[in-house]
Chains A and B, each alone.
Chain A
Amino acid sequence: MNSEYQPKIIGFLCNWCSYAGADMAGTSRMRYEPNIRIIRVPCSGRVDPILLLKCFQQGVDGVLVSGCHPGDCHYNEGNYHARRKFALLRDLLDYLGIGKERLRIEWCSASEGQRFVDKVSNFTKEIAELGPRSGS
């Protein structure tokens, strides 16, 4: 693997839990991989699959969607809908040869700064091992 290669990762974080979790990691001065570019969304249920596909189309190597833990959604059920949607999308991406490893769904609350750091570092490491999306 090329040691110069830096994977490009987009993170869709829900405003109420995961984005605040990332904020918590920041204010606590925790360190995590800088490869992730974060986009704040109102809810993980708002993340349309086309947003993720657009990311992949534009040459992103991995996409993280992170929302509130099931049961904790600010809008009561947004993340339940997201879960069903992404379960199907994950299988479809795998079927098409894009690879389900490149799409990661996580649940992370506002107080879980450390959890957010762990998940992002872990995901970045996995994507770096997979390498760039060749010839896409």
Chain B
Amino acid sequence: MDSELIQQIRYQARDLLESGTVKGVIGYERASDGLTARPFFAYEPAAVERLIFDETCSHNLARYLVDKKNEKMAVVVKPCDSRAINLLLNEEQIKRDMVFVIGVTCPGVVETSWNHKDEELQARCKTCQLVEPPVYDFLANGEAVERPQGEPYLDVQQMETKPITERKAFWSEQFDRCIRCYACRQVCPGCYCPECFVEQLNPLWVGIRIAPKENELWQIMRAFHLAGRCIGCDECERVCPVDIPLSLLNRKLEKEVKELFDFQAGLNPEEQPPLATFKKEEKLGFEE
């Protein structure tokens, strides 16, 4: 028996498609292993029966909106994913009237792999404070969710307190493994530049040679381009084929932005992002 939550999503999706309000609905369906979830585009009212939602729905579907700018789409989003919609609205990448947001109250998601799902929640879900999406047109209400109130930056703080040589060794080891497949970029809702700096040939910012230094440059710039923009969906970390702890890098910048500028990305589409504005009186640790 499908849960109440799924019934609500399907009912709303059918309604939207039958009335012609949207061209398609982006949601989740059961993957062919019969256990995990995969993204699904429903264009026919009959197809909505394939829509599901459960703890294996880890993907951030807001990413697809960037490629569907000219068609009105509905999208199923968890609270964390919906922050990406706010980000894209703030950066004028999508129009609010071109997207119908089906929000879900999220019980947290688990790590999955083919034919396997973990019992435990993902690390980010253990410290997530959002139960409802900050932006939605329709809210599919599941069972009441209780949120564990964890400290979100515990591992970042641990990394910060390590001696500098250890930090250097740690990150060198991580970046050495990078194969620069750019999956982290492809999956990121914030990485939508038509031409990424790594693909520019003149100047050649990142060389094509296989070298730790080139990996490092790519990784640092990727993280920095998301400073104050990363919404913490951890999709980059999920898709990384060599398991680089990208969230440990992203959340460092998230923490600094929060401390220095009191800002969190994707909570309010009207708020000026921290690197697009400034305060004249702030010093930020630089002497005058």
Contacts and interface: CB of A to CB of B under 8 A. Distances in A.
Interface string B198-233: 000000010000000110110011011001100000
A51 B164 CA distance: 23
B197 A50 contact: yes
Given A54-B217, A84-B275, A97 B285 contact: no
Interface stretch (A6-14, A15-23, A86-94): A86-94
Interface string B262-288: 000000000000110011101011101
B193 interface: no
A53 B285 CA distance: 21
Contacts of B228: 88
Contacts of A80: 278-280
Given A88-B253, A105-B286, A95 B160 contact: yes
Given A50-B221, A92-B220, A85 B288 contact: no
Given A49-B224, A87-B284, A97-B168, A81 B253 contact: no
A77 interface: yes
B170 interface: yes
Interface in A88-136: 88-92, 94-99, 105, 107, 135-136
Contact of B256 (A49, A57, A91): A91
Interface string B145-171: 000000000000001100011111111
Interface residues of B, number: 40
A51 to B, nearest CB: 10
Contacts of B160: 95
Range, interface on chain A: 20 to 34
Contacts of A97: 164-172
A73 B234 CA distance: 38
Interface of A: 49-50, 53-54, 57, 69-71, 77, 80-81, 83-92, 94-99, 105, 107, 135-136
Interface of B: 159-160, 164-172, 197, 205, 213-214, 216-217, 220-221, 223-224, 227-228, 249, 252-253, 256-257, 260-261, 274-275, 278-280, 282, 284-286, 288
